[in-house]
Copies of this chain bind each other. A is one copy, B any other.
Amino acid sequence: MLYTKDEQEKLFLGIDGGGSKCKAIIMTADNQILGSGVSGPGNPLHGFEQAKDSIVKASYLALMDAGLTDIPLNTLIAGVGLAGVNLPQQFRQMSAWQHPFKEMFLATDLLVACLGAHQGQDGAVMITGTGSCGFSYVRGQEFIVGAHGFPHGDKGSGGWFGLQAVEQVLLSLDGFKPASELTRMLMDKLECSTGTDIVEAVAGKPAVFYAGLANLVFDVAEQGDALALAIVHEGGAYISKVARRLWQQEPPAMSIIGGLSVRLMPWLDQEIRDRLRAPVSPPEVGSVLFARQQQALLAECAVKVNH
């Protein structure tokens, strides 16, 4: 498919960069997604160079996927939503990047997720993937709960579930917690035969490693194992509390998104589940919506300045 220069200028790049991967899409003015790409970690807090590389790589992959390799990055306007840039230093550092795009509009992964989920309208999202947090955007006000990071925070996230599993299994092997099916499952998964093996296997591992253990906690909990159930109940109760905190901001709608949301959903309080709405679009579409909103605002300002 060939695009005229005029049409090219209406193409947007939408980026969603998180702790484990970075997604990119190419979207037309009439909201058609022409191509998408996925690369490595995109959270600048865990590596600024890596995050930049992941953004550029995912962008090229999206262009390739769209069959648009002849379009240079410097003709595209990019909406970039990233984990970690809720921290002022990370935001400043990433904003100062000599990026390869025509223009870059930078936002938190939270804002673009919220815009995507609610088609650019006000709303709230709970994000449970490698990390966890709650976010609302109501009448121009952003509000964040959680987003504390690993290992000290992010309750109810994949990283947290995995960390709890390892902690509880090791306590169980020492005789401080009841024996649990979780022990066998974790040992199988990590190819370990003793507690010492587990200690060696997990030493120094990041959140993403622990997030890879989250599914087995749910598997074992669903079989009725007491130790796994205690973890899953605690995680679910926390995310339910996050939802209640967000409803206080009076968002018109709320969604739960992220890699762990499907597994976590059944463990949320019934009243919370009943009020959650399926997200309309993924965060990378929210990034495009954000870029368009910012571009419109800039155009509006320019008109005001000229008058």
A contacts, CB < 8 Å to B? 45-46, 86-90, 145-149, 151-153, 155, 163, 166-167, 170-171, 174-176, 195-196, 199-200, 202-204, 238, 241, 245
B174 touches A146 (CB 8 A): yes
Inter-chain CA distance A89–B201, complex, in Å, is 11
Residues in B neighbouring A45, C-beta threshold 8 A: 203-204
Contacting pair A196 B245 (CB below 8 A): no
What are 27 sample pairs from A and B whose C-beta atoms fall under 8 A apart? A45-B203, A45-B204, A86-B196, A87-B196, A87-B199, A87-B203, A89-B200, A145-B174, A146-B174, A147-B199, A148-B170, A148-B195, A148-B199, A149-B199, A149-B202, A149-B203, A151-B152, A152-B167, A152-B170, A152-B202, A153-B166, A153-B167, A153-B199, A155-B171, A174-B245, A176-B241, A176-B245
Report Cα–Cα, A170/B241, bound state, in Å: 15
A166 to B171, CA, bound (A): 22
Chain B residues positioned under 8 Å from A46 (CB to CB): 204
What is the bound-complex CA distance between A243 and B77, given in angstroms? 63
Residue in chain B with minimal CB distance to A173: B148
Q: A89 vs B203: C-alpha distance in the bound complex, in angstroms?
A: 12
Q: Within the assembled complex, what's the spacing in Å between the Cα atoms of A89 and B163?
A: 23
Q: How far is the CB of A127 from chain B (nearest CB, A)?
A: 15
A297 to B176: give the CA distance in the assembly, Å: 37
Q: How far is the CA of A166 from the CA of B200 in the complex (A)?
A: 26
Among B86, B87, B163, B200, contact of A87 (Cβ-Cβ < 8 Å): B200
A133 to chain B, nearest CB (A): 10
Instruction: Report A8 CB to chain B, min CB distance, Å.
Output: 39
- Smallest Cβ distance from A241 to chain B, in angstroms? 6
Given A46-B204, A200-B87, A204-B46, CB of A163 within 8 Å of CB of B151: yes
Residue in B closest to A150 when the chains form the complex, CB atoms:
B151
Contacts of A195 in B (CB 8 A): 148
Min CB distance, A269 to chain B, in Å? 15
CA distance A236 to B72 in the complex (A): 61
Contacts of A171 in B (CB 8 A): 153, 155
| Residues in B neighbouring A153, C-beta threshold 8 A | 166-167, 170-171, 199
Q: Is the Cβ of A166 less than 8 Å from the Cβ of B146?
A: no
